[in-house]
Amino acid sequence: MTQRAIPIANIYYLLCYAWKRAAERSVVQLDELRDLNEVHDLLGKVLSEGTFRLFREGLDRGYREIQEDLSGIRGKIDIGQTVKRALRAQGRVSCKYEEMTHDVVHNRILRATLKLLLRCKGLDPRVRQAVSGAFAKFSGVSEISLSRRVFQLVQLDRNRRYYWFLLSVCRLIHEQLLVDESSGRTRFAEFSEDKMASLFEDFIKGFYQHEQQDFKVNHRGRSISWVANGTEENQLPMIPQMEADVIMDAPHRRIIIDAKYYSEALSGRYGPKLRSGHLYQLLAYLRNREAEVGPIPKHEGILLYPTVDENISVDVRLEGFRVSARSIDLSRDWQEIHQDMLAIVAQ
C-alpha cells in the first residue's frame, strides 16, 4: 500500500496514535482535511492551527541566561570578566542573570519549521496563508537551524503534551523536507516503504494503548528471549533478541500482533496463501514467550496487514496456537477503521 492510497485525514490519525498523541488529534477537524491531498499540506495545516492555539492559551516561556556589563549589580557578578576587562575602572561590572523569555528552544523550533514550510514548493495557497500568519507571530524569537541535536535540546515538562505533539510535527517536517541547494526551495519527500511500515507498526501500538482497557499493551516490554537451554554461557551473547511489535496481556488472553506492511499480504504459485516467513516468525514469538511467562492463559498470534479494497480473514491452528491473519483497510472512513481495530482483538 502506498502513502497516496491512504486519505490525508487517515494519515493524520495514524500519526497521532503513532506519536502517542491521540488526545491532541482534535487540533484540526476531519472535515477540514478532506480537501487536502498532500502530506505537507496536512502538516502545515496542523502546525499553523496548533500555533494559533498556543498563542491563544499563552506561548511558553523559559529562563535564559544573559551576561551583560552593568553600572549596577543584577544576578551574579562575573568576577573573572570584570577583572580581565578592567570594568571597575569604568564604573561597571559584568553580571550574569536569568530572564523569562519566549525565546526558548522549543519556540525557535516552531518558528524555524514554519519558515521551512513557507519555502516548500507546491504548498496549498490556503495552507501557505495560514503558515505565514503563524510565522509572523514569532517576532522576538530567534532563528535556529534545525538538526537532530536541536530537537534533543528541548526541555519541557512531560505534561506539556500539546507542545510535544507540535514538536513531533516539526520533527517529521524536518525529516521529510528536501532542500534544493541552488534555489533554497524545499520539497516534501513522500514517505518511504520503511517509513510507512514504521508508522503502521507504531499506530497499532498507540491505538491499542489508548482505545481499550481489557489488555495491558507491552507492559513488560516487547522483547522475547529464546529458549536457549544447553547453550554455553559464553555463547549466549551471540543469540539475537526477539522483539515483537505488540504484546497484549489480559487475565483471560495473551495476544502477540505482528504488523506487516506489505502491498500483497498473500502469496503463492498455486493460489493465495499466508507467507511462510511471516508464520515462522510469529510462531517463534509464541513458542518462546509461552516458555518465558507460562502457558496459561494460552498465547495467540495475529498477523495484521494494511490493505485497500481487499479483506483478509484467516484463522488456523499451528503447533497448538491459534493464529489469525487480518487486514485493515486504511482507505475507509476513520470510524470504520476504529471499529475494525477493536473487533480484531475482541474475537
Q: Do residue 137 and residue 154 come from a single domain?
A: yes
Please say if the pLDDT value at position 182 is more than 70: no
Residues 41 and 125 in one domain: yes
50 with 151, same domain: the answer is yes
The domain containing residue 148 runs over which residues?
3-60+103-191
If asked whether residues 210 and 340 sit together in one domain, one would say yes
User: 260 and 233, same structural domain?
Assistant: yes
Same domain, 187 and 291: no
Give yes or no: residues 74 and 116 share one domain.
no
pLDDT recorded at residue 4: 57
Whether residue 335 is found in the same domain as residue 236: yes
C-alpha cell of residue 265: 499480504
The pTM (predicted TM-score) of the whole model is 0.84
Co-location of 70 and 205 in the same domain = no
Hey, which bits of the chain come out as E strands? 62-70, 76-77, 93-101, 177-179, 186-188, 216-217, 223-224, 242-243, 246-249, 254-259, 266-267, 273-274, 299-307, 313-318, 321-329
Span 8-56, pLDDT tens digits: 989 999 999 999 988 888 888 777 787 888 999 999 999 999 999 999 9
Q: Which amino acid is at 283?
A: L
Orientation of helix 161-176 relative to helix 39-57, angle to 10°? 150
pLDDT at 272 over 90: no
Q: Quick one: 206 and 298 in the same domain?
A: yes
Whether the pLDDT of residue 118 is over 90: the answer is yes
Overall domain count for the chain: 3
Residue 185 has pLDDT above 80, yes or no: no
Most confident of 16-30, 60-74, 266-280, 290-304: 290-304
CATH code, domain with 229: 3.40.1350
Q: Do 176 and 318 belong together in one domain?
A: no
Mean pLDDT of the chain: 90
